[in-house]
């Protein structure tokens, strides 16, 4: 490492801790508890009034007119016509497509938007009284999990994968009620499923063989909707925890 760069990095670290002493950091952490509580209260109050919903995840970078944008739109429309609300992360791409499908079908269109310094702005298809702004990712993920009666996951990046594995972990460990987790797009997801089967389960024995059946991979909107509808023809609808 270049000595001058290393020296300047050390100075920046020292300066950061000079500006905010440990007692100040502790005080800031304490006040953050109240901000976290307020986000939970707003989320619970809003979503508890809406009724059964399906959470739809996918990339913020997916463009209108593309295959997966159209699929998300169609899936959300089907759920809305069946009386289920649609929950998304509130942003562009797949989220926008799903909110648009719900909105145009006259269904409940929910957006759980995360405040980021880039990329994420609420789309225009969220019901005005069902847009919730979050600062904390972990609070937002609780809202996705608690009130969703199913998860539909279209292709996406790190955020989408994070939400998928959060749902899988909670169902696998029985921290929440079992709900359907549907992956849309076999070309996109089959490589991941093969890796879980061949490496995680068979080779390393880091999961049970039955765990792979927690997800279902489909290719069409009709298949995704059918999986959700079939599941809830056998089970009652209620919050997951």
pLDDT at 20 > cutoff 90: no
Looking at the fold, whether 38 and 136 belong to one and the same domain comes out as no
**Domain boundary, last residue among 10, 33, 49:** 49
Residue 35 belongs to a domain: yes
DSSP code of 197? I
Residue 23 belongs to a domain: yes
Tokens 């304490």 locate to 30
CB 237 within 8 A of CB 145: no
Q: Which residues of 129-240 form beta strands (DSSP E)?
A: 131-134, 148-153, 181-184, 215-218
Whole domain around residue 42: which residue ranges?
Answer: 1-49
H or E element, residue 235: none
pLDDT value at residue 128 = 93
- The total of structural domains in the chain comes to 2
Q: What is the pTM of this model?
A: 0.85
- pLDDT tens per residue, range 127-168: 999 999 999 999 999 999 988 889 999 999 999 999 999 999
């Amino acid at each position: 490492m270049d000595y001058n760069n290393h020296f300047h990095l050390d100075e920046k670290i020292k300066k950061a801790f000079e500006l905010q002493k440990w007692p100040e950091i502790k005080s800031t952490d304490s006040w953050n508890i109240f901000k976290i509580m307020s986000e939970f209260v707003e989320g619970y109050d809003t979503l508890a009034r809406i009724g059964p919903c399906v959470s739809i995840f996918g990339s913020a970078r997916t463009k209108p007119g593309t295959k997966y944008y159209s699929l998300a739109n169609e899936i959300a429309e089907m759920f809305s016509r069946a009386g289920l609300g649609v929950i998304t992360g509130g942003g562009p791409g797949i989220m926008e497509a799903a909110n648009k499908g719900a909105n145009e079908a006259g269904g409940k269109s929910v957006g759980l938007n995360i405040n980021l310094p880039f990329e994420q702005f609420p789309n225009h298809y969220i019901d005005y009284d069902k847009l919730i702004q979050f600062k904390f990712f972990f609070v937002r993920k609780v809202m996705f999990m608690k009130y969703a009666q199913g998860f539909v996951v279209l292709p996406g990046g790190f955020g989408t994968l994070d939400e998928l594995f959060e749902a899988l972990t909670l169902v696998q460990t029985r921290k929440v009620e079992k709900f359907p987790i549907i992956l849309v797009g076999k070309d996109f997801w089959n490589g991941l499923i093969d890796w879980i089967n061949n490496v995680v389960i068979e080779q390393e024995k880091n999961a049970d063989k039955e765990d792979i059946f927690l997800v279902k991979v489909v290719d069409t909107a009709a298949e995704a909707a059918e999986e959700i509808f079939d599941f809830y023809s056998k089970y009652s609808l209620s919050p997951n925890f």
